[in-house]
Amino acid sequence: MNVGKKEELNSSQLLSSDGTIIAPEVTYNSTTFVPDCQCTESIEKELAEKFTPKKAESEKLVLSYLRLGYDKKAERCSECGTLLEFTPVLGVAGGESPSGLPPAGTRQRMNLYRANFCRDRLCPMCSWRRSYKIFGQVSQIMDQIANDYEFLFLTLTVPNCTADELVKTLNAMSKAWIRFTHYAPIKRILKGFFKALEITYNLKADTYHPHFHNVLAVPKRYFKEKDYLKRDEWLRLWQKAMNDDSITQVDIRRARGKIKGSEVSVEGVEAVKALASAIAEIAKYAVKSSDYLFQSERITDKVVSVLVPALSGRRLCSFGGCFQEVHQALQLDDAEDGDLVHVNNELRSDLAVQIYRYGWSCGAYKLIEIVKK
């Protein structure tokens, strides 16, 4: 793709006279093909339901960045998701058609093939894509080890803190996690983990609530052995790690999969599939856009100005033990800073035969061109 961009933009160039965002100007070498109606309908449904709402939220964040003087972050976020390329998934059972589209009678599905994502920590578009990626990676890892381990879902909380206390609290939680996992009762049972940070904002109290969501791998015998830990023991150990007896809440539960609409429990890989919604909850955004984008510009800017330095340079999720080993064995890339396009490794770039290219303009995505490789 040959794309020509304007010179580096400053905040005044990003805003029009009425305060709306000006999309970066791009030019294309166009190749014209007759669009396949099934393809465009599938893409435009995806764009309308998923990409467009996230891009609209991103533009609100851009305006906040500009008001706060984060010009470089505003520029990157403004360009995020302005170019999206989709390609049809090739037919398998019936073979390929000459055009590279699935043969007649097969279900049409489109994959995102290429995009310009900014990877900003607060960008709603990138946070959404990142949550997909993390969900996919955690699910793949759990599939690999499901027959060897039981899984626990653990949520570790701390009391709400003020804006001035947030960075200090996050630092304390990171150090406490290391101590927590090295305590003998936990070290005996913990064989691997996935840990994710989430921060919510309480508008009424003007406080922040950071907490860890965790998936723990424990031995199959865990629930039948003396090493089993009751909820109060998990709480005591977390209080000890944080050196804070005012902590009153931890949530620990067995990850048990059930067939939808049934009380029949399943184990192993089938249990992981049945736990998809719970895994998705753990893999969700570090900060939801509803916790920092408000109708009030003043409140939005206040919260964004707190979250930017709090999240800067900080790992939002991590893998340990058998989770990390499988992550490396599967050659999965970085869950936070890696590829946000092929979040499930569904399509190799060399398999794309026809590309539908969409651009963001005037608050909507429009088909720019169709390219045949």
Assess whether pLDDT exceeds 60 at residue 195. yes
Q: Are 276 and 259 in contact (CB under 8 A)?
A: no
**What is the pTM for the complete model shown?**
0.81
Tokens read off for 192: 């691997």
What integer pLDDT is reported at residue 341 of this predicted model? 87
pLDDT band at 352 (very low <50, low <70, confident <90, very high): low
Domain assignment present for residue 109? The answer is yes
Domain assignment present for residue 122? The answer is no
The rounded distance, in Å, linking the Cα atoms of 223 and 153 is 14
Assess whether pLDDT exceeds 70 at residue 63. yes
What integer pLDDT is reported at residue 198 of this predicted model? 95
Map residue 363 onto helix, strand or coil: coil
Give the residue ranges of DSSP H helices in the chain: 11-14, 37-46, 52-68, 71-79, 124-145, 166-182, 184-187, 231-242, 268-274, 276-282, 297-311, 322-329
Q: Number of structural domains, the chain?
A: 2
**What one-character-per-residue DSSP string does 110-125 give?**
EEEEEE-----SS-HH
Please check whether residues 261 and 320 belong to one and the same domain: yes
Lowest mean pLDDT among 4-8, 45-49, 232-236, 263-267: 4-8
Residue 324 sits at φ, ψ, to 5 deg, of -70, -40
What integer pLDDT is reported at residue 283 of this predicted model? 72
Please check whether residues 104 and 172 belong to one and the same domain: no
Please check whether residues 160 and 214 belong to one and the same domain: yes
Which residue is listed with tokens 């005996």? 188
Please check whether residues 267 and 169 belong to one and the same domain: yes
Please check whether residues 81 and 148 belong to one and the same domain: no
Please check whether residues 110 and 183 belong to one and the same domain: no
The more confident residue out of 157 and 20 is 157
**What one-character-per-residue DSSP string does 197-250 give?**
EEEEEETTTTEEEEEEEEEEEEETTGGGSTT---HHHHHHHHHHHHT-TT---E
Query: Which of 359, 296, 352, 356 shows the shortest CA–CA distance to 63?
Result: 296
Please check whether residues 149 and 287 belong to one and the same domain: yes
- What are 252-263's pLDDT values in tens digits? 999 865 434 434
> What is the domain extent for residue 41?
4-117+343-372
Q: Are 161 and 206 in contact (CB under 8 A)?
A: no
What integer pLDDT is reported at residue 76 of this predicted model? 96
Tell me the mean pLDDT in the region 43-62: 94
What integer pLDDT is reported at residue 42 of this predicted model? 84
Please check whether residues 76 and 21 belong to one and the same domain: yes
Assess whether pLDDT exceeds 90 at residue 358. yes
The rounded distance, in Å, linking the Cα atoms of 308 and 74 is 12
Query: Which of 82, 90, 104 shows the shortest CA–CA distance to 25?
Result: 82
Please check whether residues 271 and 177 belong to one and the same domain: yes
Please check whether residues 281 and 139 belong to one and the same domain: yes
Which residues lie below 8 Å from residue 315, measured CB to CB, with a gap of 6+?
197, 336
Please check whether residues 302 and 254 belong to one and the same domain: yes
Domain assignment present for residue 337? The answer is no
Please check whether residues 176 and 71 belong to one and the same domain: no
Tokens read off for 134: 């993390």
Assess whether pLDDT exceeds 80 at residue 3. no
